Amino acid sequence: MTDEKILVEIQPFIDACDKMIASKFIMIDKRISDVLKSIASCKPVFNLVKDCMVNFNFEKEWGLATAKMGYIVPPDDSRMFVAFVFSLLNSIDSKKLSASSVLSMYYSKIDAGDGPYDQFCKAIIERFKTTIQQLLVKKKDSAPAKKQEKIQSVNREVLSRLAFLAKDLKDYVQGLKKLKKSKITKGELVEIISGLLNAIENANVVQIKPFVLAIKAGYGKDKEIERRLIEINDIVYRTLLDA
């Protein structure tokens, strides 16, 4: 199936997500219901979500994601993230979880200019939409031979170490009240680090360096962030760029 045909088939899902992102909290129940209905009606999305849900334990992952008081830290793995969000939306739709409680408990303390609902949509719904698009395209695409060889040549142990350091950095930043003398918000820096983690997960060496540069440019004057970036920077410039 071509990219164009996939995009046509999943457009109702994309539209439902976009409407939720552009909506207001008062409409959250209807918007979540619409997103879930669009998943059920879009065969490519439904099949992907069904595959991602195999052996997924939402109670366990919810406990891990909410272990840090006041924040939701979803799984970094793309397929686990899809299963996590689908389960979360279902739990809110079935009233097992209260939408207002989720927003007030986990999105009211984020250091950003937007309200809890907007932050939830940016961190969860926008990423959910984008991740599903990427997974559906990636399932059928075959990268050019040179790119494939480049990815395969990357030392997986190096990537594993880099992922560990990036996750540690993300946890530290999420625990801060705000960034010191930074031109960006804490929430924006967390999004950049999440992008770095996604690039590491996909062994996308080309994207890793720009994300590291963005973190270095935006973290402000926090000495602990600077310290944690030292090894990340060494790995990127001394190891990965030579891979």
Per residue in 154-190, pLDDT (tens digit) is 567 788 888 889 999 999 988 888 888 787 888 888 8
CA atoms of 41 and 12, how far apart (whole Å): 8
* Mean residue pLDDT across the chain: 84
**pLDDT higher than 60, residue 5:** yes
Contact call for residues 197 and 167 (beta carbons, < 8 A): yes
Residue 240 per-residue DSSP state: G
**pLDDT higher than 80, residue 58:** yes
CA atoms of 153 and 233, how far apart (whole Å): 20
Tokens of 52: 């991602």
Q: Which is it for the CA torsion 7, 11, 16, 22, positive or negative?
A: positive
Backbone conformation region of residue 184, classed left if phi is above 0, alpha if psi is from -120 to 50, else beta: beta
Range in 28-37, 72-81, 226-235 with the lowest mean pLDDT: 226-235
Q: Which residues contact 200 (CB under 8 A, 6 or more apart)?
A: 159, 162, 163, 166, 208
Could you give the 3-state DSSP secondary structure of residue 149? helix
Whole-Å CA distances, 18 to 31, 39, 110, 211, 216 = 10, 14, 22, 25, 31
The reported pLDDT for the residue numbered 153 is 45
The reported pLDDT for the residue numbered 187 is 86
Tokens of 17: 């997500």
Tell me the per-residue pLDDT of 182-231, one tens digit each, with 9 for 90 and over: 878 888 888 889 888 888 888 777 778 888 888 887 788 888 888 888 88
